[in-house]
Amino acid sequence: MEQPVRVGLLGLGTVGTGVVSIITRHQHELSHQVGRPVEITKVLVRDLERNRGANLPKDLLTEHAEEVVTSEDVDVVIEVMGGIEYTKGLMEQALKNKKHVVTANKDLMAEHGADLLALAAREGCDLYYEASVAGGIPILRSLTEGLSADRITKMMGIVNGTTNYILTKMSGEGRAYEDVLQEAKQLGFAEADPTADVEGLDAARKMAILATLGFSAPVQLEDVTVKGISAVTKTDLYYSNQLGYTMKLIGIAKRDEGRLEVSVEPTLLPKEHPLASVQNEYNAVYVYGEAVGETMFYGPGAGSLPTATAVVSDLVSVMKNMRFRVNGHSGTKPLYEADLKAEKEKQSQFFIRLYVADQTGTFKTITSLFADYDVSFEKLLQLPVEGEELAEIIIITHQTNREAYGELLERLASLEVVRNVASCYRVEGGN
């Protein structure tokens, strides 16, 4: 048996504890796969005295990150501490010290991934980050390996478990957003400050990573159109259900003749769509390829052991590369530029809910405005508002472009007969 692969761990929280557990319990399987055992030799923690249940000897723990990334007793650094700028510096230090790196940090990889991968290549080191997107679902490895011979044209998915849990409970139980959000915090599905999740930023970072790999183009976070779920109401979900749809926070990345669009926003899906049945904290990614057709990857999007499984799988990849002496080739430079679509090139259907004056001529005024922008109705509900001289109108449009849609909404809000444009959302997967 060869000498063990020595692992240094940056962080011993939920995921870090899971990594320790898997390495400890699966030692026989890991050794069988790569011919070498795995030994944890250094672990960064915030408090040496805190009991984390990881059963590690105290002399392996340190409060100084530099001891992990520069130690001669570490071959591979696993980063599960989070953060961006400070963590980036540590990863750079590790790579310059000829340490291979595995990370679960989607924030860091979305913002600095290209630079870190380039540094890893220069230093002859591996940098893997499967766990940064969709927890235990092997979606990144599928894009770079299993589907590498295909040309991906579209990816859409639920890549944030917090928002999916909230929308599932709101839709299924008729509860208000704030009520479910508080429950999600108590259950550990939402952070104390849930802004990154509920406003779509977490999902946007993941979609930037997916689009970069799937389309071999350097998609940045600022290239992603983002809208969160904090304004979604029980009323929106009720009418979505009445019209045959389920609402999810959906990330979409599309490529048409080399032109890209990437977005994250609350989206209405037909109830028969495979993603519509993904419930609670689960994630799923739907991939369209020219050769393979449609495939879907489904599983837990977060949690200690699912995410840790992805981390250790990356560790196995590093160890195999070490065995065959091919480290430093894990990252592939993008083949294309990120040629982004203009708003007038982005096509979709839309859900619009508005309150209007309940009087003769109102509907004619509204339909005339829609005709001006060549936007037609696929579905329509018109209901009186009890006790007021108002009507509520719910519209599902046919396909139109986002430029026309944006101008239409502005004009709609300015009409004298329109009292309020209450909500508007993307509709995907319809006719």
- Residues catalogued as catalytic: 206
Question: How far is the C-alpha of 100 from the C-alpha of 6, rounded, in Å?
Answer: 11
DSSP for 54-73, please give it.
Answer: ----GGGEES-HHHHHH-TT
Residue 335's CB: how many other CB atoms inside 10 A?
Answer: 8
Question: How far is the C-alpha of 365 from the C-alpha of 357, rounded, in Å?
Answer: 11
Question: How far is the C-alpha of 99 from the C-alpha of 256, rounded, in Å?
Answer: 39
Question: How far is the C-alpha of 190 from the C-alpha of 186, rounded, in Å?
Answer: 8
Tokens of 278: 């993904």
**Burial classification of residue 14, based on how many CB atoms lie within 10 Å of its CB (0-12 exposed, 13-18 middle, 19 or more buried):** middle
Contacts of 251 (CB under 8 A, 6+ apart): 155, 156, 157, 158, 159, 203, 204, 206, 207, 210, 262, 263, 264
Pairing of strands 245-256, 259-270: antiparallel
Beta-strand ranges (E) seen in 172-313 are 224-226, 245-256, 259-270, 282-289, 293-300
